[in-house]
Chain A
C-alpha cells in the first residue's frame, strides 16, 4: 500500500531524513518511533504530499506522492501534529466542510458525518464549538476528519500526545479498531504505545531508519533478568551451561552485584534451573524476573549505539 524508497529531505543544509526506505502492507498499523526531531513529521509530510522530498520516491496505493499528489490525497486521511482544527466551527460543520473538500457529494455528506461521529463517539458533541471541547475530544474530531472520506491510508502524527491516561487509552483503542480496514501509519515517541497498537515498528533516529520489524522481533523475546552476588565470569559460565540458555550478557556489576540478561530458547522456561544453578554454587540470588527487556530499553539502546557510531 505504501512504498518508500531512499527518501531524503534537506531543510536548507540540514538533513531531516536520510535514505529512508520501508514498505507498509495493506491493513497494517505501522508505528514510526523516534525522539523529538528524529524526522517523523518530515516523513509524514512527504507522504501526504504537503512537501516533496529532496530525493527519493514514495508511492501510496501505487500513486507517486509528488506526481500524482491529488490522487494520493483522495485516498489519504491525515491528522497533523497537534491536531489543528477550526475552533470557531461546530463539530458537525467542521466535518461537513472537511468531507466536502475531500470530494464527498452533497447527498451523502450528512450520512458520512453521522457515521464518523458515531465511530469516534463524538455524536453527542455534534453542535458544540470545537474550541470548547477537551483535548481528548478534539483528538477524536481530528481522527473523524481524517476518516471522513473512508480513506485507504491514515497518517496520524503523534495522535496521543498531550492526553491524560484515560484519553490515551481511548484514542489507542479507536486507532486499533481501524486496523484491517485502513492502512495506518502513526508516529510516537513512546515505544510502549507503539508496541501496543502496531503490527510493525520503524525506529527513526536523526533522520535515519535504524531498525524495523514486528514489535516482538525488536524486543529480545525470552529473556530472564537476574541480579546475582558472585564473580561475574563464573556466574556467566555456569548460567550459560544451563540447558536451553542461548546467551548470557552482563549488564552491570556494582559492589559485587551483577545484573545478567539471560536469553533463552523461545518457549523455554528455565527460571527454576537458573535459580538452582545460582544456589548450588553458593552465590546469592537477589532478583529474578522474566518477560524480557522492554522495547523501551531496546529503543534507547539502539539510539545510544547509533550515537556512538
Chain B
C-alpha cells in the first residue's frame, strides 16, 4: 500500500512539472469552456448534457497526450529498470501510474465545475444530471487512460505510443457504427463494446450499474495487459 502511494505520488509530481500537461489542460479548459458557452447560449441547457458529450470527444484527443509518456519515457531513459528491480511489484508500478493519471484528469474536470456554479448563479441547475455526468466522464476517462497507458508500455517511442493510443480510442469510439453493418446477431455485442452508448445515459442523469461495470472492466483488462507487457521481458 505504501509502495503504491509512493509510486502514485512520484507520478503525480511528474504530471504537474510537465509543460505538456499544462498545455493539455489549457487546451481542454479553453475548448470545453467554449462548448459550455455555446451550449448555454443556444440550448438553455441546465444539465450540462451537451458539454459532457463534447468533453467525451475532447478527451479522445487529450488522453493520449497525457498517457503517451507514462511508460515509454521510462523505457527510453532506462529508469524502468530501476523501478522493476526495486522491491516493488510490477502491478504497483502500473497501478500507481494509472491512479496518478486519474487524479490529473480529476483535477482537470474539477476546474470545469465552475460551469455548474455559473448555472446555479443564473438559473436552476439539474444537479442529478450534472453529478451523473461527471461520474460518467470520470469513468469514460479512466477507460481511456488505461488504454493509453497500455499503448505507452508497448514502445519506447512516445510519439508512437500516443498515435497507437489515439488509434485504439478511435476504434472503441467508432465501433458502434460498425454495428449498423453487422447482422442483428452481432450488432448487440459490437454495440456493447462501443464507448459512446454507455456514456449517453450518464449525461441524461441515469446511472446504470451495467455501464459503470463496462468501463471498470475496460480499466481492469488494460491494466492487466500493461502488467503483462512489462513482464514480457521475462519470457524473451
Number of residues from B at the complex interface, CB < 8 A: 25
Let me know if B79 and A50 touch, CB within 8 A.
no
What 1/0 mask marks residues of chain B from 51 to 63 whose CB sits below 8 Å from any chain A CB? 0000000000000
Question: What mask results when residues 132 to 160 of chain A are scored 1 for a CB within 8 Å of chain B, else 0?
Answer: 00000000000001000000000000000
Q: Is B85 an interface residue (CB 8 A)?
A: yes
Which residue of A51, A84, A100 is within 8 Å of B78 (Cβ)? A84
Contact B88 A11, beta carbon cutoff 8 Å:
no
- Determine if B234 and A51 form an interchain contact, defined as CB atoms under 8 angstroms apart: yes
User: A101 to B77, Cβ gap below 8 A?
Assistant: no
Whether B78 contacts A80 by the Cβ 8 Å rule is yes
B217 sits at the interface (CB 8 A): no
List, in ascending order, chain A residues with CB within 8 A of B88's CB: 101
Q: Is the CB of B233 within 8 A of A98?
A: no
Write out, one digit per residue, whether chain B residues 67-92 have a CB within 8 A of any chain A CB (1) or not (0).
00000000001110111111111000
Q: Which residues of chain B come closer than 8 Å to A125, judged between CB atoms? A: none
Interface of A is mostly: loop
In the complex where A78-B82, A86-B79, A100-B2 touch, is A70 in contact with B234 (Cβ < 8 A)? no
A98 touching B82 in the complex, CB below 8 Å, given contacts A70-B87, A88-B14, A103-B87: yes
A74 contacts partner chain B, Cβ-Cβ < 8 Å: yes
| A145 adjacent to B2 (CB under 8 Å) | no
Report whether B17 and A97 are in contact in the complex, using a CB–CB cutoff of 8 Å: no
Q: Is B182 an interface residue (CB 8 A)?
A: no
Instruction: Name which of B17, B84, B85, B234 has the most chain A CB atoms within 10 A of its CB.
Output: B85
Of residues 270 through 302 on chain A, the ones whose CB sits less than 8 Å from some CB of chain B are none
> In the complex, what residues of B have CB within 8 A of residue A82's CB?
78
Q: Does B7 contact A (CB under 8 A)?
A: yes
- Contact check, B17 vs A88: say whether CB atoms are below 8 A apart: yes
The answer on a CB contact under 8 Å between A50 and B87 is no
User: Nearest-CB distance from B18 to chain A (Å)?
Assistant: 8
Tell me if B236 is interfacial: C-beta within 8 Å of chain A: yes
List the B residue with the shortest CB-CB distance to A146.
B82
A120–B2 CA distance with the chains assembled, in angstroms: 27
Chain B residues with Cβ under 8 A from A59's Cβ? none
Q: Quick check: A52 and B77 within 8 Å, CB to CB?
A: no
Q: Check A11 against B82 for contact (C-beta < 8 Å).
A: no
A9 to chain B, nearest CB (A): 10
In the complex, A74→B79 CA distance in Å? 18
**A195, CB-defined interface residue at 8 Å:** no
Q: Which residue of B lies closest to A103 (CB)?
A: B87
Q: Are B87 and A73 in contact (CB under 8 A)?
A: yes
- Docked pose: A74 CA to B87 CA in angstroms: 6
Say if the beta carbon of A48 comes within 8 Å of chain B: yes
Partner of B84, one of A50, A87, A103: A50
- CB neighbours of A93 from chain B (8 A): 13
Q: Mark A1-45, 1 if CB is under 8 A from B, else 0.
A: 000000000011000000000000000000000000000000001
Q: How far is the CA of A2 from the CA of B59 in the complex (A)?
A: 51
Q: Inside 8 A of B236's CB, which chain A residues have their CB? A: 11-12, 51
Interface code B14-41, partner A: CB below 8 Å = 1, 0 otherwise? Answer: 1001100000000000000000000000
A102 CB–B CB distance under 8 Å: yes
Is B44 among interface residues, defined by CB-CB distance under 8 A?
no
Q: Which residues of A contact B87 (CB under 8 A)?
A: 70, 73-74, 101-103
Which residues of chain B from 210 to 236 have any CB-CB distance to chain A below 8 Å in the complex?
233-234, 236
What residues on A are CB-neighbors of B6 within 8 Å?
A: 97, 100-101
Other than the known A76-B85, A88-B14, A89-B13, what 7 A-B pairs have Cβ atoms closer than 8 Å? Answer: A12-B236, A48-B85, A50-B81, A78-B85, A88-B18, A97-B10, A98-B82
7 closest cross-chain pairs (CB), A and B: A84-B78, A100-B6, A73-B87, A48-B85, A84-B79, A74-B87, A80-B81
A sample of 6 cross-chain residue pairs with beta-carbon separation below 8 angstroms, ordered by A number, consists of A50-B233, A73-B85, A73-B87, A81-B78, A100-B6, A102-B86
